[in-house]
Structure 1
Amino acid sequence: MELDFVCTRAGRSADALTRRDVARALLAVPSGVALVALPDLRRAMEAAGNPLSALFWESAKALLGAVEAGTATLGEIQHWLESTGTEPIAMTRTYFSWPDEDERGPVAVEMYDRLVAHLEEKVAAGEIDPDALAAGDPAAREAYEELQRNWLESPLPDGRVPMFAVTDEQDEALFAAWDEEEAFALAELRRVVAELPEPPLPVDELRAAAGRLREILARDGYPGNVLRACGGLEDGVPADDAELWLTVAAGVAGPVSDLPEEDDTLEEFTDLDGELRHEDSVLASLCAIEHTDWLAAVAALARRGPGVLASPERLARMIVESEDVVAASDDPEDVAAVENLFTAVVPLWKELGAVDGTEVLTPLGWWGLPKALERAWTVEE
């Protein structure tokens, strides 16, 4: 590792290199290589008229030594890098965090580079003291964090607020990935259903289930409040039995709305020692189930038909053994996590009559669950 390597990585001449440039180059090679190269690199920087500081080189030797010994943590490495004075803080005290370097979109890259340039200006102006940061001065660190927080939350000349510009881009990417997964799952579901005979509509079961469902939806508390939120039915219910049943069943796979807020909701969510209401926990579990898990579970039930056990444990095994999704993990902890999520689903399916009291798939569930899942994933034009 030579000075030319550092200059090439940073895109700067030796006399313009910053501590961050050198630190990132040192971390880009094996720690043993960096330790061996450290003395020669220091002399080359001095010869180039850019000696940095003795404290920087001492801190680099100590950090790299800890890395080589296997005792350095990722947090310690990041903290040392931030102590160069021009490295953005990975996570601020207001919980803003930068995406990993290989996951940044164009906006995040732009804002990150803008902040680095801003910090370099502050170092040049003497408003940031890298040696104080490297020495672990609490006041210097607090000022460094505050300076970055202010920049992230202040509008740029074009009106964009860096923090929100980055998080908005992340949200857009997340929504796009979600839509792509949903479209793929929908296509696979339709492929599976097309290969199977059309289940008959159990008219009497549907009528009875819709009647019970209307009574449940009219009651306060669980499960009525969760099912209303799932189906987005706070303003009324469909008159048609099939429409009502499919609306609510689709909502279980893709909840339409949140639970109504109550006066103590904020207090509950900010009480870190407390527990979520059962309803909140159920809705959170429904939202956490992945498209592939829904696909694997419902496809398996559609193939097996009425009489198959649809308990949370059995559904988790069906998902692991499914040929309709890419190798679901069969790690016991992962299987248990999926099973736990479906403990929120099966009781709601019971209320719908999709499974019976012994958690066995009914003719109504065989007829309706694939249709409900398709509805949940179909975007209305």
Structure 2
Amino acid sequence: MDLDFVRVHAGRPVAELTRRDVVRALLAVPSGVALVALPDLRRAMERAGNPLTPPFWESARTALGAIESGNATVGDVQRWLESTGTEPLLLTRTMFVWPEEDERGPVAEEMFHRLVAHLERRVAAGEVDPDALALGDETARASYEEIQERWLGTPLPDGRVPRDAVSDEQDEELSAAWHEEEAFALGELRRIMAELPETERPEEALRAASTRLRELMTAPGYPGNVLRACAGYEGGPLPADDEELWLTVAAGIAGPISDLPEEDDIAEAFADLEEELSSEDSVLAALCAIDHADWLAVVAALARRGPGVLASPERIARLIAESEDIDVRMDEPEDLESAEALFGSVTPLWACLGIVDRSEVLTPLGHWGLPRALERAWTETG
């Protein structure tokens, strides 16, 4: 490693190299190599007329030494990089997080480089003191954080607010990935079901379950409020057709449509981040946390086994772990426990629909309806 390596890595002339450029280059090679090269690199920078400062070189020696000895944490390394004065904070005080470098979309990449250029101008203007940052000055750090917070929330000439532009791009990327995963899972579900015999609709069981469901969904509290939120029926009339009602609610359990309505006191409770979720909100959160692969594994396994199979949360976790339909590794006890906990919110709702009986055994209604409900959930959100 030498000065030419730093120049090429940074993509700018030696005279324009910043502390950030040097640190990024040092971090691009093994710490032992960087430590050995550090004295020669410092002399080469001095000869080139871009000497940087003693506090910077001392911070580099200390940081690289800690990395080489195994005493530096990821946070320590990030803090050293940020102390160059032109590295955007990975996490700001208002909890804005930059995507990892290899995960940034075009907008995030643009905004990141815009902020680097902004910080370089602030260093040149004397508003950011890299030496103070390198020495751990908390006042300098607070000022550095404030400059970045202000920039992230200030509209650019084209009207875009950097913070919002990056967040919107991430939301779009997550949504696209979610729909791609859902489309794949839907295709697999249809393939699996096409290989199985067609099941007849259990008319009497469906009618009885729908009658019970209408009673639950018009009653206050749990489980009616959760079932209404899952189906998106809050405040609206229920379908007259039993199958339509039943499948919509069952589909909503696999993909809740809305949240619980918030009253004033509930809204105030959510403003306090330390306030615990209500039991109903915890149920909805668990339903939303179950991914497509797990739903596919469970419903496919139950469809193959048929009525009479145990569908308790514990058994469901094992079905996921042993599934031949998804590629998943659940070797650790906590993996099974996590799946069991999530489906612990599902099976009581399934019982309300007659999908499982009181012993958590799959019923003929559940065998007929679960695949159809899951297909509906994924079709209507796709």
Residue number in structure 1 paired with 2:260: 259
1:211-235 per-residue CA deviation (whole Å, 9 max, x = no partner) reads: 0000000111100000000001111
Counterpart of 2:330 in 1: which secondary structure? Answer: coil
TM-fit CA distance, 1:272: 4.5
Is this contact kept in 2: 1:309–1:360, CA < 8 A?
yes
Change (3 A) 1:76 1:309: same
Is 1:71 aligned to 2:84, yes or no? no
Q: 1:365 and 1:126 mapped to 2: Cα distance? A: 69
Q: 1:2 and 1:320 mapped to 2: Cα distance? A: 51
Residue number in structure 2 paired with 1:17: 17
Is 1:250 aligned to 2:251, yes or no? yes
Residue number in structure 2 paired with 1:317: 318
Q: 1:290 and 1:8 mapped to 2: Cα distance? A: 44
Residue number in structure 1 paired with 2:328: 327
Identity fraction in percent: 70
Q: 2:215 and 2:250 mapped to 1: Cα distance? A: 16
Residue number in structure 1 paired with 2:30: 30
TM-fit CA distance, 1:273: 4.4
1:11-56 per-residue CA deviation (whole Å, 9 max, x = no partner) reads: 1111110000001111111111110000000000000000000000
What one-letter code is carried by the residue in structure 1 that aligns with 2:237? Answer: G
What one-letter code is carried by the residue in structure 2 that aligns with 1:285? Answer: A
Residue number in structure 1 paired with 2:343: 342
Is this contact kept in 2: 1:319–1:328, CA < 8 A?
no
Q: 2:138 and 2:374 mapped to 1: Cα distance? A: 54
Q: Superposed, which structure 2 residues align to 1:1-381 within 5 Å?
A: 1-234=1-234, 235-379=236-380
Counterpart of 1:264 in 2: which secondary structure? Answer: helix
What one-letter code is carried by the residue in structure 1 that aligns with 2:331? Answer: D
Change (3 A) 1:380 1:312: closer
Is this contact kept in 2: 1:285–1:344, CA < 8 A?
yes
- Listed as ranges, the gaps of 5+ residues in structure 2 are none
TM-fit CA distance, 1:327: 2.7
TM-fit CA distance, 1:264: 2.0
- Listed as ranges, the gaps of 5+ residues in structure 1 are none
What one-letter code is carried by the residue in structure 1 that aligns with 2:229? Answer: A
What one-letter code is carried by the residue in structure 2 that aligns with 1:354? Answer: I
1:291-338 per-residue CA deviation (whole Å, 9 max, x = no partner) reads: 000000000000000000000010110011111111342321111101
Q: 1:47 and 1:12 mapped to 2: Cα distance? A: 17
Q: 2:360 and 2:269 mapped to 1: Cα distance? A: 32
Q: Could you state the TM-score of these two structures normalised by the residue count of structure 1? A: 0.98
Q: 1:83 and 1:164 mapped to 2: Cα distance? A: 25
Counterpart of 1:71 in 2: which secondary structure? Answer: coil
Is this contact kept in 2: 1:129–1:140, CA < 8 A?
yes
Counterpart of 1:91 in 2: which secondary structure? Answer: coil
What one-letter code is carried by the residue in structure 2 that aligns with 1:12? Answer: R
Q: 1:380 and 1:291 mapped to 2: Cα distance? A: 12
| Displaced runs of 4 or more, over 6 A | none
